[in-house]
Amino acid sequence: MGSIYLVTGTDTGVGKTIVAAWLAKRLAAKHKVALVKAVQTGAQPLVDGDEAQYRRLTKNPALSTYTLAAYPEPLAPLIAARRAGATIDARKIARECTAIAKRHEVTIVEGAGGLLVPLAKGYDFADLARTLNAPLIIVIRPGLGTLNHTMLTVEAAERRGLAIAALFCSGLSPKPPVVEAENVRFLRERYPKLPLITLKKATKGQLAKLAMGASAYGKVPALLRNTTIKRSRLP
């Protein structure tokens, strides 16, 4: 079976889908890759959902994309399913992820919102990561507030014995203002053993090609070691 990674965030709207697609596009040059949206809420997967975004951004028909469950209201999966008169079988979601991973070298599973968002009764995305034995890709914002959100997420992961593959700071300004530069610096100092990758804020043209600038601080995460990524000093 191939490797599985779970992409989670410090909050909703932090750039998980962009990071997941960016990773998949890079890895698909040398590996058989799957992109999986575990549960989509508030959108139609192949119209305006994350799977549609995966396909638009990666533009690679050899890259497999999946949505395992979808519900109409933009709510946490447990609540969205309940309001739709349904129940999410989290174990089935995990089995489907495992089955996909058996057919691919790398499988990237995107969660919904943050690490402790409820997926089913008594089961959250941290539990899914544990079930899948999937290291976390934690996506964070660069601006004010990110230190508290990031440290809480890292602490929650560590308390649950979950491995963290990397922190991804999405949307860093091309010329970072003081708050963004100092946040990156603080997190690098706070977590010297964790790879920290920054993705620059992209123009529409750059985003369409997933061509935003990327920099690695500290060691490059294992899943990116066979790709080209710029090693940088702190901004």
- CATH number for position 73: 3.40.50.300
- DSSP three-state, residue 107: strand
Write down the catalytic residue from 16, 25, 37, 200: 37
Residue 172 is part of which domain span?
Answer: 3-231
The number of folded domains in the chain is 1
Burial of 161 (0-12, 13-18, 19+ CB in 10 A): exposed
DSSP per residue, 34-70: EEEES-EESS-TTTTSHHHHHHHHH--TTSEEEE--E
Active site annotation includes 37: yes
Q: Which percentage of the chain shows pLDDT scores above 90?
A: 86
pLDDT digit string, tens, across residues 170-183: 999 999 999 999 99
pTM reported for the whole predicted model: 0.96
pLDDT digit string, tens, across residues 117-167: 999 999 999 999 999 999 999 999 999 999 999 999 999 999 999 999 999
Which residues does residue 138 pair with via DSSP β-bridges, in sequence order? 8, 167
Of the pLDDT bands very low, low, confident and very high (cuts 50, 70, 90), residue 235 is low
Is the pLDDT assigned to residue 113 strictly greater than 90? Answer: yes
